[in-house]
Chain A
Amino acid sequence: DSGVTQTPKHLITATGQRVTLRCSPRSGDLSVYWYQQSLDQGLQFLIQYYNGEERAKGNILERFSAQQFPDLHSELNLSSLELGDSALYFCASSGGDTQYFGPGTRLTVL
């Protein structure tokens, strides 16, 4: 158990819909990272937050957004969903150079 929690574990929705994925970091960790993992692209960095502020951006689509709240939990919002957005979405947290990954949310877009 990494100490990072993610909900929901599974999410099935339709194209065009919007979903919110939630992540609670390890106690004391200020950084939260979001990743997307698909079979063809592997694990892709999306975005990083540090203590509520956006710190770094990766291959995140404009239809996706994220935020980190004062209690340090983070949410990843995915809108206008497409079939190709089906993937595993991981959150990781860190207090330094080691990232601890949550169990992921498996998103299926039908």
Chain B
Amino acid sequence: TQLLEQSPQFLSIQEGENLTVYCNSSSVFSSLQWYRQEPGEGPVLLVTVVTGGEVKKLKRLTFQFGDARKDSSLHITAAQPGDTGLYLCAGGGSNYKLTFGKGTLLTVNP
């Protein structure tokens, strides 16, 4: 069974701070996706990384896929209250089936 562990589980910071959340597994995935989910909504895809060592930037968000394609990180620079939400990583496998981590609940306080 492929498992993805995310850390930290909860993170509460002040506006303007930087943060990094992690997604780790003992399994290799063909791709790694990051989603953000707000209360009462479904997860929304932020980025997909497929190549070991790949780094992608989305405005203030930087995503990195580990060289061995088993782990990933999400770094947010100068966090804003609008970044508040549940951040989920998901590993891609066959038939586009996704295995999700339990998420990091981020709260950015004004």
Contact = CB atoms under 8 A, between A and B. Distances in A.
A99 B96 contact: yes
Nearest to B94: A56
A102 B42 contact: yes
B99 interface: yes
Contact of B97 (A58, A98, A104): A58
Size class of the A contact interface (CB-based, 8 Å): 20 to 34
A48 B95 contact: yes
Interface residues of B, number: 22
13 contacts: A4-B42, A33-B97, A41-B102, A42-B88, A42-B100, A42-B103, A56-B94, A56-B97, A58-B97, A90-B42, A97-B48, A101-B44, A102-B42
Nearest to A40: B102
A33 B42 CA distance: 13
B7 to A, nearest CB: 13
A97 B47 CA distance: 12
A53 to B, nearest CB: 12
3 A-B pairs closest in CB distance: A101-B42, A42-B102, A43-B100
Interface in B35-72: 35, 40-45, 48
A55 B92 CA distance: 15
Contact of B96 (A41, A90, A94): A94
Contact of B95 (A35, A42, A55): A55
A27 interface: no
